[in-house]
Amino acid sequence: MNDPNALGISLVTTHLVVCLLLAMYGIHRYQLVYLYYKHRRNTPTKTGRFESKPHVTIQLPMFNEQFVARRVIESACKIRYPRELLEIQVLDDSTDETVDIAREACDRMRALGHNVVFLHRTNREGYKAGALEAGLKVARGEFIVIFDADFVPPEDILEDIIDYFADPKVGMVQARWEHINRDASLLTKTQAVLLDGHFVIEHAARNRSGRFMSFNGTAGAWRKTCISDAGGWQHDTLTEDLDLSYRAQMRAGSSFSCRM
């Protein structure tokens, strides 16, 4: 027969372990809030400006994103930056009608004078990290800006962030996310609150207090040489953005910036 005392001890132990983990998580959250308020005035600043604007490559990785592929391509083409210095790579690993939609959008934007390159892979080696790596090998830009397919980059994004890289020690700039459908449902409202806390509190607290922060996989810009120096995009992880972030920051002299 099962020992009811042993079962009770197991349940109590499990309950205590869960409570302990939640308490540790809560303490960590409070620490981030404390760091945020302590360093809230230590905002990132641009130490200079580029006398001549550098070449920039925008990468748009996508996989079966037929409903948003056209929108992100068109939005990227609206970004204000000299056309001769801007390259847009559509890194499409899709296996559905997204391929035709993205190719048609690229052809149409190219006919309007935009430098849009359509790169389609069929092997999907490395998944998103592999697509970014393949695009990086042929990218013309000194700086790489990445947007996932469900993002709508603002027209002034490059005007806002590019001069942070005038400081040669800055390897990556992460922009804050905003929400198109914040008020669509209770779920989207909850997700927006959680993401706002991550960007406004956690990222700012880490960055402004000199701690490690991470690239969120989209809506950020990298110095191309920083990616290479850190070992490039790796395929052996589910969090290629976090992995690259930490490898880059472990290199001597590298630093990140958080745009708020």
Per-residue model confidence as pLDDT tens digits over 130-178: 999 999 999 999 999 999 999 999 999 999 999 999 999 899 999 989 8
Of 259, 162, 166, 155, residue with least CA distance to 213: 259
Question: What pLDDT does residue 254 have?
Answer: 57
- List C-alpha distances in Å: 234 to 8, 121, 125, 242: 46, 17, 11, 11
Average pLDDT for 225-232:
93
Asked if 3 is an active-site residue, the reply is no
The confidence score (pLDDT) of residue 256 equals 64
Across residues 239-259, what is the average pLDDT?
78
- Which two structure tokens, joined as six digits, stand for 142? 């000194």
Q: Which of 93, 107, 160, 243 is catalytic?
A: 93
DSSP-based three-state secondary structure for 80: coil
Q: Would you place residue 260 in the very low, low, confident or very high pLDDT band (cuts 50, 70, 90)?
A: very low
CATH class of the domain whose range is 56-259: alpha beta
Does residue 183 carry a catalytic annotation? no
User: For residue 119, is pLDDT > 90?
Assistant: yes
Report whether 260 contacts 176 (CB < 8 A). yes
* Domain residue ranges of the chain, discontinuous segments joined by +: 56-259
Of the candidates 150, 160, 241, 243, the residue annotated as catalytic is 241
pLDDT higher than 60, residue 253: no
